[in-house]
Structure 1
């Protein structure tokens, strides 16, 4: 048996988790001298993760240090990917809790840490970014202790070792005295994290994660709890319905460095990847055929939102994307189900439209963003929360929302949250900041972030996580103003935009191609207004075309994909193509919209 330590890293978004993993990779010389160094954020290997600075998918790496194999499990820090975290913790025996020396433990940390402590994992606390001005490592250490205490940690878990340092500068130590490198932390992992506990008996391995390869198909990942697995061995797969399927291990891999290494046999306690089974789900167990004893299953977070995905039917259909048909869309969405476990896809009455269920706005926007980068065109509807009936009562998902904001903006935050049916439960002062905790329906969160950032001059720090389904809280006010809708198709003109400036803010620049029914701006007051901004100035012999150019046009308002998702109303949609994100009315023709409106009133 080789020496093994399995450790998961938990941290809030932006607390330096991925940077720390990079430093571990460098310190243990995973890159040979002659290999090109792949720079920073090695673990965030898809473009979206690098751009947004968040870890979306949990990943495994493995390093050798002083004759011990350390399996490092990098976990996502965002609430929408909480389902990932819970499962991967099952592979770990210890957890590294990484906390920012200024911000202290954040709400998302609390959620994941609670799961880790419940599983009985041994914690090591790492207080990062002690090089930052205004940091308060001692105060943060006390706050972490309070958090452990509130989460009902055991006596042993409360006696956690603490390391201080800066992953950016590449050092960690047991005191605030800078060290040469991160070896004190690596020594601490070997000292404090227990070796994996293995048990006597027939084979047991639960699938806690999965991978997909176009060459090998679906790959099951998990930690072997009992016995061992050999390449070519015939074993059983215990499924949710109690059936045990017979199958053969075609290929067997362990993690080594940033990749996988093919092996003949893996012993209990190690994390491995198995090829050869297709019909498995997260939570299924590999067992002995003669004596199957599956492990208890892990529940996966239920989706809380749904959106319609349909083909792009705007006049600009097919101009920009490579995959534009409903078959392309269907294949891509069903392929995503292979590895995106909190996602569900259902067909609708319309063959060109699919209903997609996800964990939150970020979860769904990451999927849309990935698809548009791959060359897909589609139309996305307004996000809707999932309503359930529980014991005859109409219920909706609720979230716990935490907002940290400077004193002077606290009342604005409370006002905005209350308008959206949020209840304030905790309010306390943290230095110059007010720390507030609300319970709010998931519906209330749609569009709230952008409003809150506007009201607090960008100072609000907001995080939320799903808690439970509770009775429906009544209607929540939507957008308070109307939109400006294009009457015609063609390039927007500077002349028309300048004339209409007093009507509202524009989302397009002069020269931009627009079409009828496209949302081109926001009106200053309620109600939608159809305007013509493709009209050019009439020229006669008295005026030369180059004179009196209107140079006083305000710059257009830019929207990210998530902001568009939060902005649109029920009769609106988003056209997403590889190079453009446009908001539009579902029904583009003004006459058609009026006819339907008259019919609804009649």
Structure 2
């Protein structure tokens, strides 16, 4: 048996998880002296690099002293909780990384609760102690309190703590005396994280993630819980519905450094990739064919939000994307559910409309952004919160919202949150910021971030996580302003925008090609208005100093994908293509819109 440690790294967004993994990889000298590599080695996906967040969990392994350490990097956003819940099953311990100034944040609590419930041994790393205003000792106390509140056992509460700065490449037991190496962390992993417990019995391995290769198809990844798995061995695949299928292992690989190496057998306790297993799902068990025993399936928290996905049927359909039909859309969405456990897709009574359920706006927007980069064209409706009936009472998801904001703008934030049925539960100073905590309906969060950032000149730091279902809180005011809608198709002119500027804010620039029914701006009042934005200036041979003023246009307001999803109203769609994001009315024709509005009222 080789000496193995399986460890997951969990932390809130931006507390330095991926940087720490980089330093561990460098310390274990996986790379040759002359080898070139980027920072944030594990954030390999383009979207992860652009946004600076981890979306998919990844495995690497390093060799230190006589042990092999399998490291699992996990996402920090609660929206990607499905990723975390399944990979924690592979670990025996966790490194909880906490920022020395911010301390434990709401999403740290979410992931840590899952890890403690699975009985994993924690090591706490207080990172970024080189920051000004940092308060490592207070943060250490806060972590202890958090673990106590999460019902940690006595062994878990007796955790080992290290302080340091992953960026400066050091860790040590005392933050006032920096060491010059990250090795104390690797020593602590060997000393405090238990080796995998090996049970007696026949083969059992739960599939916790999957990979895909163009040569061998889908690859099952998981940790061998007991027994051993051998190349060319006959195995049984235990599925969710109780069906057991017999198969043969074609090839086995274990994680070594940043890649995988082929091996002939894998013993209990190690994480491996199995080729040759077909038709499996995450959560299935690979077992002995003679006495197949399934492991309990991975439980995943329910989604809290859904959106309507439909094909693009705007006048610009098919101009920019490769995949535009309902069959393309259906296949892609159902393929996503294979590996994205927290996502659910339901068909509707229409062939080209699908209801997609997810954990939050970010969870759904990452899927949409990935699809548009792959060449898909689609339209999505306004995000809707999922209501439940509990004991005959209509209930809705409530979230814990945490906002850190400068003292002088705290009042504006409280006002914005309470307008949306938020209840202020905690208000206390935190360094030079004011720390606010609210319990707020998920509905109230849609569109709130934009307003809060505007009110605080972009200085607010907002985080939220799902708390519980509670009785319905009543109606919440949505967007106050109406939309400006293009009257006809064609490029818009600077002259028309200039003349209409007092009516509201525009989202389009002169020369942009538009179609009738497209939302081109926000009206300054609460009703929708149809505008002729294609109108040009009538030219004559006469010139007059009074009427020939230069056109002065305020720059168009541009939205990110998430901002657009939060902005649209019930009667609007977001049209998404590889090159553009446009807002439009569901019914492009003005008469049809009026008729439908009368029907609904």
Instruction: State the TM-score bracket (shorter-chain normalisation).
Output: over 0.9
Q: Which residue of 2 aligns with 1:207?
A: 207
Deviates more, 1:505-514 or 1:323-332: 323-332
Cα contact 1:94–1:121 (8 A) shared by 2: yes
How much does 1:68 deviate?
Answer: 1.1
Q: d(CA) in 2 for partners of 1:217 and 1:389?
A: 42
Q: Which residue of 1 aligns with 2:493?
A: 493
Q: Which residue of 2 aligns with 1:367?
A: 367
Cα contact 1:212–1:339 (8 A) shared by 2: no
Q: Which residue of 1 aligns with 2:121?
A: 122
In structure 2, relative to structure 1, the CA distance for the partners of 1:352 and 1:143 (3 Å cut) is: same
Q: d(CA) in 2 for partners of 1:441 and 1:10?
A: 26
Q: d(CA) in 1 for partners of 2:96 and 2:371?
A: 33
Alignment of 1:355-394 (within 5 A): 355-394=355-394
Alignment of 1:38-437 (within 5 A): 38-176=37-175, 177-437=177-437
Q: d(CA) in 2 for partners of 1:54 and 1:105?
A: 18
Deviates more, 1:120-129 or 1:43-52: 120-129
Cα contact 2:206–2:295 (8 A) shared by 1: yes
Q: d(CA) in 2 for partners of 1:442 and 1:599?
A: 29
SS of residue in 2 equivalent to 1:329: helix
Q: d(CA) in 1 for partners of 2:94 and 2:84?
A: 12
Q: d(CA) in 1 for partners of 2:125 and 2:220?
A: 31
Q: Which residue of 1 aligns with 2:568?
A: 568
In structure 2, relative to structure 1, the CA distance for the partners of 1:147 and 1:599 (3 Å cut) is: closer
How much does 1:403 deviate?
Answer: 1.9
Q: d(CA) in 2 for partners of 1:476 and 1:433?
A: 28
How much does 1:437 deviate?
Answer: 2.5
Deviations 1:182-233 (A, max 9, x none): 1121122112211111111122222222223333222222211111111111
Deviations 1:542-572 (A, max 9, x none): 1399x94534311111100000000001100
Alignment of 1:526-545 (within 5 A): 526-543=526-543
Cα contact 1:9–1:73 (8 A) shared by 2: yes
Q: d(CA) in 2 for partners of 1:102 and 1:478?
A: 35
Show structure 1 runs of 5+ residues with no match.
none
Cα contact 1:253–1:260 (8 A) shared by 2: yes
How much does 1:387 deviate?
Answer: 2.1
SS of residue in 1 equivalent to 2:69: strand
Q: d(CA) in 1 for partners of 2:600 and 2:47?
A: 43
Cα contact 1:498–1:550 (8 A) shared by 2: no
SS of residue in 1 equivalent to 2:81: helix
SS of residue in 1 equivalent to 2:87: helix
SS of residue in 2 equivalent to 1:272: strand
Q: Report whether the alignment pairs 1:447 with 2:447.
A: yes
SS of residue in 1 equivalent to 2:339: coil
Cα contact 1:405–1:461 (8 A) shared by 2: yes
Instruction: Give me the TM-score of the superposition, normalised by structure 2.
Output: 0.96
In structure 2, relative to structure 1, the CA distance for the partners of 1:563 and 1:289 (3 Å cut) is: same
Deviates more, 1:304-313 or 1:534-543: 304-313
Q: d(CA) in 2 for partners of 1:119 and 1:438?
A: 29
Cα contact 1:212–1:338 (8 A) shared by 2: no
Q: d(CA) in 2 for partners of 1:161 and 1:105?
A: 16
Q: Report whether the alignment pairs 1:456 with 2:472.
A: no
Q: d(CA) in 1 for partners of 2:293 and 2:366?
A: 38
How much does 1:599 deviate?
Answer: 4.4
Cα RMSD over matched residues?
Answer: 1.9
How much does 1:138 deviate?
Answer: 2.1
How much does 1:335 deviate?
Answer: 1.9
Q: Report whether the alignment pairs 1:518 with 2:498.
A: no
Cα contact 1:252–1:274 (8 A) shared by 2: yes
Q: Which residue of 1 aligns with 2:13?
A: 13
Q: d(CA) in 2 for partners of 1:232 and 1:567?
A: 55
Deviations 1:290-344 (A, max 9, x none): 3233222221122221112112111211221122222222222222122111112
Deviates more, 1:428-437 or 1:582-591: 428-437
Deviations 1:28-79 (A, max 9, x none): 12222353x2211110111111111111111111111112111000011001
Q: d(CA) in 2 for partners of 1:468 and 1:241?
A: 29
How much does 1:537 deviate?
Answer: 0.9
Cα contact 1:224–1:272 (8 A) shared by 2: yes
SS of residue in 1 equivalent to 2:338: coil
SS of residue in 1 equivalent to 2:395: strand
Q: d(CA) in 1 for partners of 2:283 and 2:351?
A: 32
How much does 1:180 deviate?
Answer: 2.4
How much does 1:382 deviate?
Answer: 0.8
Deviates more, 1:448-457 or 1:64-73: 448-457
Q: d(CA) in 1 for partners of 2:345 and 2:110?
A: 27
Deviations 1:424-470 (A, max 9, x none): 33333323333232222221211111112122222222211223333
Deviates more, 1:281-290 or 1:362-371: 281-290
How much does 1:600 deviate?
Answer: 4.4
Q: d(CA) in 1 for partners of 2:544 and 2:28?
A: 71
In structure 2, relative to structure 1, the CA distance for the partners of 1:424 and 1:287 (3 Å cut) is: same
Q: Which residue of 2 aligns with 1:593?
A: 593
SS of residue in 2 equivalent to 1:500: helix
Number of paired residues? 600
Q: d(CA) in 2 for partners of 1:452 and 1:190?
A: 45
How much does 1:381 deviate?
Answer: 0.9
Cα contact 2:406–2:459 (8 A) shared by 1: yes
Deviates more, 1:460-469 or 1:570-579: 460-469
